[in-house]
Amino acid sequence: MTSRTLPSWLRPLVALGLAASCASGPRYDGQVYRGHGLLFRTGPVAEGWSRLDASHGLLSFRDEGARATVLVNGRCGQDGDDVPLAALTAHLFLRFTERKVDEEALVPFDGREALRTVMTAKLDGVPMRFEAVVTKKDGCVYDFVLIASPETFDGARPGFQRFVDGFHAEPRP
């Protein structure tokens, strides 16, 4: 995986990530993330994904071939117990216009529930398709977001779903 800079049109969404301060330096080996007081596993990183450098958020990837971006965030002790999954999901898209939810379902996820939402929305007038998976576990909230053009979204989903479906939160360090 190579490191790249986050495209400017994605920065507003990533800024919503509420990343905690980084005392020990986060690490991700392609399967295990350790940092920001979190320890979790993911499914495999899809072929064609390259790491992005992002100041807000835990992990970011770009698939140039599919013109898609994946964002991962997690935070603990802020809103994990008392905010419903629907409200947490809606918060991810506050800066977008013409939001239209195409699919929404509660799904089993790492021994809990997650809200999986597929929507179309515009950022600065540009239509994009999104899949967001939001879950709460042990006082932490985890967000996974796929962002792609409407034309390439369906092709980007399988890699995103394998990555997200492999999620498992480990006891916090």
Q: What percent of the chain has pLDDT over 90?
A: 71
Q: Give 130: exposed, middle or buried? Use CB within 10 Å, 0-12, 13-18, 19+.
A: buried
Range of the domain at 70: 3-169
Nearest CA-CA partner of 85 in 112, 110, 58: 112
Predicted structure pTM score: 0.83
Which comes out higher in pLDDT, residue 102 or 6? Answer: 102
pLDDT at 119 over 80: yes
Q: Please tell me the total count of domains within the chain.
A: 1
Q: Is the pLDDT of residue 23 over 70?
A: no
pLDDT at 81: 67
pLDDT tens-place string over residues 133-156? 999 998 899 999 999 999 999 999
pLDDT (average), residues 5-20? 47
Give which of 166, 170, 169 is closest to 45, Cα–Cα.
166
CATH classification of the domain holding 98: 3.40.1000.10
- Distance, CA of 65 to CA of 138 (rounded, Å): 36
**What is the β-pairing status of strands 38-41 and 49-53?**
unpaired
pLDDT at residue 20 above 60?
no
**Is the separation of the CB atoms in 46 and 54 below 8 Å?**
no
Confidence of residue 4 (pLDDT cuts 50, 70, 90): low
Cα separation of the two ends of the chain: 26
CB atoms within 10 A of CB 100: 10
CA 145 – CA 133 distance, rounded (Å):
7
Give me the mean pLDDT over the 54-68 stretch.
Answer: 88
The residue with greater pLDDT, 4 or 40, is: 40
